[in-house]
Amino acid sequence: MSEKNYFTINEISKKTRVPEYTIRYWESRFKLLRPLRLASGHRRYTAGDAEIINEIKDLLLIKGYTLSGAKKVIYSKKKSGRQDWRADSPSDDTVQLLENIKKELRQIIKEC
């Protein structure tokens, strides 16, 4: 069985130990934190989103940065390439999903 690629806000809240309302607020303040939105409006988060949430949590709640200070740190890391942010490249989950699809398609072609 493969690992989940997308998580609900409830699941990501439990995984990161950050309240749902805080995650929603951070989405409005950090452009890097943009979950997939379904047609119904529900959010779907990736493991990359969880990493960003944990980074924001670390900067704000543990290291004591202000929102603007945390933004500067996160965006400077993104610019310098010190982190593999979801916005720059596909997440490991996405790459794995595409690899699985490619294997299945090759198998179908062999069977035809």
Residues 33, 52: contact at Cβ < 8 Å? yes
Per-residue model confidence (pLDDT) at position 108: 86
Q: What is the pLDDT along the chain (112 residues), one digit of tens a residue?
A: 457 889 999 999 999 999 999 999 999 999 999 999 999 999 999 999 999 999 999 999 999 999 999 999 988 887 776 544 444 455 667 777 888 888 888 888 888 7
Number of domains in the chain: 1
Give the chain's length: 112
Residue 103 maps to a domain: yes
Residue 68 maps to a domain: yes
Residue 44 maps to a domain: yes
Residue 54 maps to a domain: yes
What letter would DSSP give residue 43? E
pLDDT tens track for 68-77: 999 999 888 8
Question: Would you state the structure tokens that stand for residue 96, as one six-digit string?
Answer: 């794995």
Per-residue model confidence (pLDDT) at position 29: 94
Please give the residue range of the domain that contains residue 23. 9-111
d(CA 105, CA 25): 41
Give the contacts of 27 (CB within 8 A, at least 6 positions apart).
Answer: 33, 34, 35
Task: State the CATH number of the domain containing residue 59.
Answer: 1.10.1660.10
Could you tell me the pTM of the whole model? Answer: 0.66
CB atoms within 10 A of CB 36: 12
Per-residue model confidence (pLDDT) at position 100: 85
Find how far residue 49's CA is from the centre of its chain.
2
